[in-house]
Amino acid sequence: MRVLILGKGELAIKICEWFSKSSDYELCSVVPVIPEPVWTESLSLWAKQNNIPLVESGHYKDLDLEEIDLAMSVFYDKIIKSNFIDKCKRIINLHNSPLPKYRGISPINWALKDGCNEHGVTIHEITAGVDNGSIISQIKYSIYPEFEEVIDVYKKSLKFAYVLFENTISIIDEIVPIKQNEEEASLHHYSENNLLKERRDFTKEISLKSMKEGR
């Protein structure tokens, strides 16, 4: 089964490594987020070191594949259009929230700003909408807005996300996806990031410094 990974960072690399070692899958290409964030490991570098075909532009439109059995987005930064979705036998996303809550950008930041005591990670089908596809699997965990920073919850989320991936991928064909409840949905866009204030960045200190400097 031919697999494509789109995304960034250490979690995307761990998932690529899992597929590379599996006898049931062939990791046929990687599409990284470009520019790659400096605060996490480079998916591009990993692909080059492991001789995995790489789309260096970071755009899925530049991918030269006729058919993909499974495409998986792991914190990829682009909305994937219907014409590409239709090329994939199956296309899924790992989203850093307990969908349908916190669709879109910066879900951990918003959860902490809202004072939530529970967050989660979801694997869902990709549609032409924003994080609104049917849910395949989900895991929830406790968070503590009183003393946890965004970076703390982000690191925690990576561990839960990988556990969710491992528990899901082996039985994914047996799972019947469940439609999201639109009445419970929330969505945030990049244009709203300034509203996050002290939760805009990985720590309150960095966020407040950026606000003071007008960034």
pLDDT at 215 over 70: no
CB-CB contact of 132 with 100 (8 Å):
yes
Q: Do residue 110 and residue 181 come from a single domain? A: yes
Let me know if residue 213 belongs to a domain: no
User: What confidence tens digit (pLDDT) does each residue in 141-183 have?
Assistant: 999 999 999 999 999 999 999 999 999 999 999 999 999 999 9
Instruction: Please tell me whether residues 42 and 124 are part of one structural domain.
Output: no
> What residue numbers bound the domain in which 82 lies?
1-89
Q: Global pTM?
A: 0.96
Percentage of the residues of the chain whose pLDDT score is greater than 90 = 94
With respect to residue 206, please indicate whether it lies within any of the assigned structural domains. no
99 and 84, same structural domain? no
If asked whether residues 106 and 145 sit together in one domain, one would say yes
* Summary mean pLDDT of the chain: 96
Both 69 and 134 in one domain: the answer is no
| Residues in contact with 124: Cβ distance below 8 Å, sequence separation at least 6, in sequence order | 92, 93, 95, 99, 131, 133, 134, 135, 136, 177, 180
The answer to whether residue 207 is domain-embedded is no
Per-residue pLDDT of 36-64, as tens digits, reads: 999 999 999 999 999 999 999 999 999 98
Domain count, the chain: 2
**Taking a C-beta distance cutoff of 8 angstroms, is the pair 175, 138 a contact?**
no
* CATH of residue 189: 3.40.50.170
Contact 82, 121 (CB under 8 A): no
Same domain flag for 123 and 58: no
Q: Are residues 187 and 101 in the same domain?
A: yes
